[in-house]
Structure 1
Amino acid sequence: MLTEFEAYLQMHGLPGEAIHRISGLATRRTLRRNEFLFRTGEICRHKVFVLKGLLRTYNTTPDGNEHILQFSPEHSWTLDVESYDRQVPSLAGIGAIEHSELLLWHKPDFNTLLAEVPQLKIFADQLIARNVHQSRHRILTALSATPEEKYEDFVRTFPGLLSRLPLRMIASYLGISLKTLNRVRHAQLQRS
C-alpha cells in the first residue's frame, strides 16, 4: 500500500523505484500550532513537503508588522529559496499555522536525489517554473490591484484556506490593513 506521499509522487509520473529512493531519504517532522520550522536569521537546510497542516513563510519588520509571503497547505513544497541555495541566513521564517506533519530532505541528500533520479529533476524543474509564474502573478497583483481585486484573487486561488486562516493573516498576505479587509468582505457580503 502506498503512503500518501508516495501516491502523490506516483500521480506526478515518478516510477516506483524513484519513489522508494526519494521516500527513503526523507525525515518526518511534526510541528505544533505556532511552532517554527526555522526563524528569520537561521539557515534553511531542508526541502520540505507538507503532508498535513498549514505553514506560512513570513518576515517581521522591526516595528512588529508581519508580511506573509506564502502559505503552504498539505501537498505543497516549501523552503526559503535564497537561504537554502546559498546557505545564508534567511530573511524570512517558516512556522506552523496548524498542527503540521512534514517530510524533510537535507540539502546534500536532495542534491543527490536530483542527480540520481532524472524524473525528480524534471518534476522539480516543473515545480520551480510553476512557483515563478505564481510569484510573478502575485507581484503584479500586489502592485496594481485594488484591495477588492486582491481579495477576489485570494478567494479564487485559495478557496480552501479562507476558513483555516485568521483574517489578520489574510490581510498580511494581501498587503492591506485588517480594517480594509473587513470593509472589502462586508461590501462583498452586501452584494451577495
Structure 2
Amino acid sequence: MHPEFETYLRTGSDLAEETIHRISDLAVQRKLRRNELLFSAGEICRHKVFIVSGLLYTFNISAGGNQHILQFSPENSWTLDVESYDRQVPSQVSIGAVEPSTVLCWQKKDFEMLLAEVPQLKKFAEELIARNIHYSRKRILLSLSATPEEKYEDFVHTFPDYLSRLPLRMIAAYLGISIKTLTRIRHAQLQR
C-alpha cells in the first residue's frame, strides 16, 4: 500500500476504492538520493513513474556538454520518457532527482493491463496527457518568442515554490539562458 498515492487518486479521480488499491499494489517504491538518476540516456524507459515526494527533472546533455532541462516533476506528478516508453527505444534523456525523492514505478506491461481493464484510469491518464501537451505547447511557444526576462517571469509565476528548491544553474538550464543572464535578470528585479 502507498497511502500518499492512494490519497492522490481518491482526490483526483472517481476510481473505486478497490481499484485504487489494485493500482497501488502493482507499484514498486524506490528511493532516490539527491542527484541520483532514475534512468540514463541510452537506456529504455520501462516504467511509468509517480513522484510521492521530492523533485525530479528530465534533461539532456548536448554534444557540447551543456545541460538542457525539459521539465521538473514535483511530488504528486508523473514522469517518464514518453517516446522511449511507448516505442521501447533508447531514451535521449535522463531523469534524475534534484533532492531526495520517493517514487512509485509500474512496469509497462502492468500499467497497460490496468489501462485496458480500468476505463476510468484510462480516462484519467488521457486527461493528464492532454494537460501535459497543452503545457508543452505553451512552453515551446514561450521559448521561441519570449525574451529571457519574460521566460523568467513566467517561470516565477508558474512555479513559485521551485525558486527555493532549485539551484540557479538548473533554472537557467530550464529557461535556455546562461547563468550570467539569469543573475542579471534577478539583480535587475531586486533593484526595482
Report the TM-score range of the alignment, normalised by the length of the smaller protein.
over 0.9
> What CA deviation, in whole Å up to 9, does each residue of 1:102-124 have, x standing for no partner?
00000000000001111110000
Counterparts of residues 91-110 of structure 1 (less than 5 Å): 91-110=92-111
- Match of 2:65, SS? coil
Structure 2 equivalent of residue 123 of structure 1: 124
- Aligned CA RMSD, in angstroms, stands at 1.1
Unaligned runs of 5+ in 2: none
Structure 1 equivalent of residue 79 of structure 2: 78
Q: Percent identity?
A: 71
Q: Distance in 1 between matches of 2:157 and 2:106?
A: 31
Counterparts of residues 4-19 of structure 1 (less than 5 Å): 4-13=4-13, 14-19=15-20
Structure 1 equivalent of residue 190 of structure 2: 189
Structure 2 equivalent of residue 148 of structure 1: 149
- Match of 1:124, SS? helix
> 1:2: how far off?
7.8
> Aligned partner of 2:142: which letter?
T
> 1:143: how far off?
0.2
- Match of 1:68, SS? strand
> What CA deviation, in whole Å up to 9, does each residue of 1:18-44 have, x standing for no partner?
101100100000111111111011000
Unaligned runs of 5+ in 1: none
Structure 1 equivalent of residue 69 of structure 2: 68
Q: TM-score, normalised by structure 2?
A: 0.97
Q: Distance in 1 between matches of 2:76 and 2:154?
A: 21
8 Å contact 2:45–2:90 — kept in the other structure?
Answer: yes
Q: Distance in 1 between matches of 2:2 and 2:85?
A: 29
Q: TM-score, normalised by structure 1?
A: 0.97
**CA separation of 1:133/1:114 partners in 2, compared to 1, >3 Å: closer, same or farther?**
same
- Figure out how many residues of one structure are paired with residues of the other and give that number: 191
